Chain A
Amino acid sequence: MNKSDSDDVFTELTQGSEELQEFLDRMREQFPAALFQLRAGNGRLLPPEFNLLQDAAGRAVPLLISPEEGIVRINDAGGNLHAVAVPQLSAILLIKLPDSSGIGFDNPALSGFISCCIDLALLKHEQRILKLENQQIQRQIKVLNQQHYKLIEDNYRQYRQLQDREKEYAQKLEKEIARQTSELRNANVRLEESSRLKNEFLANISHELRTPLNAIIGFSELLAETGLHGEQAEYNETILAAGSSLLALINDILDLSKIEAGRIDLEKEPFTVAEVVSRVTTLFGVPAREEGVVFAAIIDEQLPVQLLGDANRLQQILINLVGNATKFTSDGTVELRVDLAGEQDSEVLVRFTVKDTGIGIPVERQKAIFEKFIQADGSTTRKYGGTGLGLAICKQLVSLMRGEIRLDSIPGKGSTFAFTVPLFATPAAAMAGRHDVPLQQQGAHRTRQKATVLLVEDNQVNQRLASIMLRQQDCEVLVAADGIKALEILKRQSCDLILMDIQMPRLDGLAATRKIRELESSPAKEQYAGLRMKTAPIPIIGLTAHARKEDEQASREAGMNDFLSKPISRDKLGMTLGKHLAKLSILPWKEKDVRHLTPDRLKTN
C-alpha cells in the first residue's frame, strides 16, 4: 500500500491536506518573511485564498518544473516568485520573497537555507509519525504485559484447580476404597458365618444320621446271632458292611467338620506307643495276611515308653494310613515304623512311618493328596472305594498336634507316608491309673451275678436296641422314657446302674442325674426304694449323640460317672458296664470272642 492508497481511505473524512498544512506551518515558522503556497498533485492550492501563480491582472503564470531541478525562479511579474518540487508530499512549494528584500534565490545561501527548511519541516513530520508509532508500540507492549500477567495468573488458577480436582479425586478414591473394604469385610463376616452354619449343620446332620444308622448296624449284628441260614446270613452281612462303611463316612465328615470348625480339643493323657501300635496291628494283621500282605510293626527302642498326648487321635491317623496302605497293596509288605526323630527339652519328636509296596501315587497328584475329596486319581474311588477324606483328616490332625506329614511315592513301586509329632515324655508312675483293662480281665474269672440296669431313653428304637444289647450282656433291664419316669421307677425298684440319655423331653438326663445325686445325699433318699439301700452313689452312664467335649464335661459336672456316645457299640457298652459293675463286684457280661474292631468303631470316642 502506498501513500496515496492510505490517503484514499480517509479522503472522505478529511480534505487530505493535514500534512500539507502542517508542512506550510513549519515553513512559515522558519521563514516568516516569505509567502508560501503549496500546489498539490491534483492542482489544488493551499492556502486556497490566493494564487501565487496569477499576476495582478489574474493571468496565469506558467509553471514548468521537474523534481530534480531544485529551486527555480518563476518568471512572474514581481520577479520574486520561486518554486521547488517536494516529492515526499507530491506537491510543489511556491515561495514569494518580499519585493523589498532585494535578494533572490540566485544567492546560494538563501537557496541552501530554503532547502534546509524544507528538509527540517519534512523531518519534523516524520518525527511526529515515529512518535505516534512509538506510542502504539508502547501500548501494545502494555497490552502484552497485561496479557502475560493474566496468563500467568490464569495458569496458576488452573494449576490450583487441577490440584483441587486431584485432591477431590483422591478423597473420592479413598472413600470408595474404604467403602469397598468395609463391604468386603461384611461379606467376609457373612461368609464366615454361613460357613460356620454349614459346618454346624453338617455336624448336626451327621449326628442325626448316626442315630438310625446305629439301629441298622445294631439290629443287623443282633440278627446275625439268631441263626440265619446261608443266603440270609449273606444279605445280613451286606447290610452290616454297608452300614459300617456309611458310618465310617459319616464319622469322617463329622471329624473333618469338627476339626475345621476348631471344635477338636486334643487330649493330653499318658499312653504307650506300644499300646497304640498293637491296637493297629490287631486291626490289620489278620485281614492283611488273608490278602497276602505281610504287615510288620517296628518300634524304636530308644523311644520313651510313656508319652503324653492324644492316643486316640494318633491311633486314628495310623489306622487311616495303614488302612490305605493295605487297601492299595495287593501283595507285598506294609510296614509301620515308629522311631525317635529328635529330642528337645522335655519333648521328643516321634516319627511314624507307614511304608507299602503298593500301586503308588502319580507325581502330579502327590501335592493334592492331602486335600479334601482328592484321591490319587478319579478311578481310585471306583476301584478301591473310600471317601477321600481320610488323608485330609490325617493332615489336619497332625498339624493340630504341631506336627508335619510327608509323602514319598513312586508309582508302581509304593508309597511312604511319614509324620512327626512332638510329644512329652512322662514318668512311668503316671500310667498307674490306667489299668482298667487288666481289672476287667481279672473280673472275668469272678462269679457272676445278674445286674439290673435302668435304661432312661426317649427314642423307642434306641430303647429297644439298648435293651437287647443289655440283655445280651446278661443284664436285667428297666426302661424309663424320661427323667421323671426314671425317678418314679427308682421310688419302687432298685438297680445297679443307670444308662441315661442326655437329651430327653420333660426332664433331661443332666437334670435327672443332678436330682438323683441330690436325693442320694439327703433324707429324702428313704422314700426311694432304689436308693435307700445304697452305700455308694449309683453309677450313672450318660448317653449322647453329640460326642463333644463340652457334653462330656457337662455330664461329669451333673454327676455322671461315665459317658458313651451313640451309636452304642456292643463292645464299648460291654467294657463300660464291666468297668463300673466290676467296682461293685457285679460282672454281668458274657465273655465272647473278641470280634475284630472296625476302625470306625474305635474312632467313635
Chain B
Amino acid sequence: MPAAEDLNARFKNLKTLPHVAVRVTQLVNSETGTMQDFEELIKLDPVLVTRLLRLVNSPYYGLTHKVESISKAVVYVGMKNLRNLVTVEALRVMFAGGKKEGFSRKKLWLHSATVAMLSEMIARRIFGMESEDYFLAGIMHDIGLIVEDQVHGEKLLEACSLYLSGERQLVTCEQETIGTDHCQVGAVLLREWMLSDEILEAIRSHHDRKQEFSVTSIASVLQIADFLASKLNHAAIPGRIDSLPKHLAGHVRDMLANYKIIIRDLPLEMAKATNLYEADDPA
C-alpha cells in the first residue's frame, strides 16, 4: 500500500508520533518492563503524569485506594490499562482541532471513545475476555481518518460527501478521491506504533465485509461496536449507517437480549469514563 505509506510519511512531516505512547506500547510488548521503567518513561512528561493519575483515580477504575504514583498505578491497574490511558492522552491531542463542515474531529473522537467502550463491554460481558486490547483497538481504529484529514483535508471531505450521497462504502469513496483508505493508513501508522498484530489486523479490516473473522476476535468485536455506536448517533461520518456483515448480524440477533443490556448500560459506563474522552478541562 504505497499510497498509505506515502500519506503517513507526509503526515509525520507535519506531526510527530507521540513518543511516550509509542515507547509505553513497546514496553508492554517487551514483557520485561517494570513499573520503574514505566515511571521513568512517563516522568518525561509531567503533564501526562498528572492526567494519568487523575484517570487512574477516576470512577472508571473504581479503586478503593488513591493512587499517587505511576508505579503504584502499574501495580493497581496493570501495564496494559496504563498503556491504554497513555494512548488515550496521546490521541486526544491528535484529535484536537480541525473544525470543518462535513467532517468533525470532535465527533470522530466521541465515536472512537464510544466504540472503545462498547468493544470493552462486549469483550468482557458477552465473551468473558480481558478487554484492554479491545479498548485500544476501539480508540485507535479511525486514526487513519485523522491522517487523511491532516494531509488531504479537501479530498477527505469529497470522499465523505460521495459516501453520504451514494450507496458505496466509505473506503471505496476514499480510494477514489485519495487513492487509499483510512483502514490502510491507520494500519501503516500503527505498525510503527508497535501495536500487536491482532490489533493491527482488526483496524485494517474494520470495514471489510468479505473476510469472516471469528466472533470473539478483535476485528469482529470492533465491527459490532462500530455498528452499534453509529446506531447510537455516534457515527464516524454521521448520516449513513453501514450494515453489519451477515454472520455478525446473526450473532447479535442470537444474543439480542445481552446486547440490549449493554446498550442499556452504556450511558452509565460512559459517564464513569468521562475523564477519559472529554476534552481538556480548564485545569
Contact = CB atoms under 8 A, between A and B. Distances in A.
Nearest to B267: A1
A139 B125 contact: yes
Most B CB within 10 A of own CB, among A13, A133, A139: A13
Contact of B34 (A139, A150, A158): A158
Contact of A162 (B34, B76, B124, B130): B34
Interface stretch (A4-12, A260-268, A559-567): A4-12
Contacts of A142: 128
Interface in B251-282: 252-253, 256-264, 266-267
Given A136-B261, A150-B78, A158-B35, A14 B256 contact: yes
Interface string B49-72: 000000000000000000000000
A562 B36 CA distance: 82
A155 interface: yes
A128 B260 CA distance: 13
A154 interface: yes
Contacts of B264: 1, 6
A18 B256 contact: yes
A12 B243 contact: yes
Nearest to B231: A9
Contacts, number: 77
A9 B263 contact: yes
Contacts of B258: 132, 135-136
A161 interface: yes
Contact of B257 (A1, A132, A151, A155): A132
B237 interface: no
B75 A155 contact: yes
Nearest to A155: B75
A6 B261 CA distance: 9
B96 interface: no
A151 B128 CA distance: 17
Contacts of A205: none
A133 B264 CA distance: 11
Interface in B21-48: 32-36
A290 B228 CA distance: 123
Given A139-B125, A143-B130, A132 B261 contact: yes
A129 interface: yes
B126 A136 contact: yes
Contacts of A232: none
B78 A161 contact: no
A154 B253 CA distance: 38
A146 interface: yes
Given A133-B261, A151-B75, A154-B79, A146 B130 contact: yes
Contacts of A158: 33-35, 74
A161 B75 contact: no
B263 A6 contact: yes
A147 interface: yes
A140 B256 CA distance: 18
A13 B247 CA distance: 11
B75 A140 contact: no
Contacts of A162: 34, 36
A338 B259 CA distance: 115
Interface in B211-237: 228, 231-232
Contacts of B231: 8-9
Contacts of A151: 75-78
Most B CB within 10 A of own CB, among A10, A12, A140: A10
Interface in A1-55: 1, 6, 8-10, 12-14, 18
B244 interface: yes
B249 interface: yes
Given A13-B249, A151-B78, A161-B32, A143 B261 contact: no
B259 A10 contact: yes
Contacts of A1: 232, 263-264, 266-267
A139 B124 contact: yes
Interface residues of A, number: 29
Contact of B232 (A9, A13, A140, A155): A9
Contact of B78 (A12, A135, A154): A154
Contacts of B75: 151, 155
Nearest to B127: A139
A147 B130 contact: yes
Contacts of B126: 136, 139
A254 to B, nearest CB: 63
Nearest to B71: A158
B267 A161 contact: no
A154 B243 CA distance: 41
Contact of B228 (A9, A150, A155, A161): A9
A143 B78 contact: no
A140 B121 CA distance: 9
A509 to B, nearest CB: 78
Given A8-B231, A136-B126, A143-B131, A128 B257 contact: yes
Interface string A309-340: 00000000000000000000000000000000
Contacts of A150: 78, 130
A560 B21 CA distance: 93
A13 B124 contact: no
Contacts of A129: 257, 260-261
A135 B261 CA distance: 11
A10 B125 contact: no
B119 to A, nearest CB: 14
Nearest to A158: B34
Nearest to A142: B128
B129 interface: yes
Contacts of B128: 139-140, 142-143
B260 A10 contact: yes
A143 B129 contact: yes
Interface string B96-133: 00000000000000000000000000001111111100
B194 to A, nearest CB: 19
B136 to A, nearest CB: 15
Nearest to B253: A13
A136 B129 CA distance: 11
Interface in A138-173: 139-140, 142-143, 146-147, 150-151, 154-155, 158, 161-162, 165
Interface in A291-318: none
Contacts of B266: 1
Contacts of A155: 35, 75
B78 A13 contact: no
A6 B231 CA distance: 9
A161 B249 CA distance: 46
A140 B76 CA distance: 17
Given A14-B253, A162-B34, A162-B36, A6 B260 contact: yes
Contacts of B129: 143
A158 B78 CA distance: 11
Nearest to B128: A139
Contacts of B78: 147, 150-151, 154
A310 to B, nearest CB: 69
10 interchain residue pairs of minimum CB distance: A139-B128, A136-B125, A158-B34, A9-B231, A6-B263, A151-B78, A143-B124, A132-B257, A13-B253, A161-B34
22 contacts: A1-B232, A1-B267, A10-B252, A13-B249, A13-B253, A14-B256, A129-B260, A129-B261, A132-B257, A135-B258, A136-B262, A139-B125, A139-B128, A143-B124, A143-B128, A150-B78, A150-B130, A154-B78, A155-B35, A158-B33, A162-B34, A165-B34
Interface of B: 32-36, 74-79, 124-131, 228, 231-232, 243-244, 249, 252-253, 256-264, 266-267
Given A13-B256, A132-B261, 14 more contacts: A1-B232, A6-B263, A9-B232, A12-B243, A133-B261, A139-B127, A143-B130, A147-B78, A151-B76, A151-B77, A155-B75, A158-B74, A161-B32, A161-B34
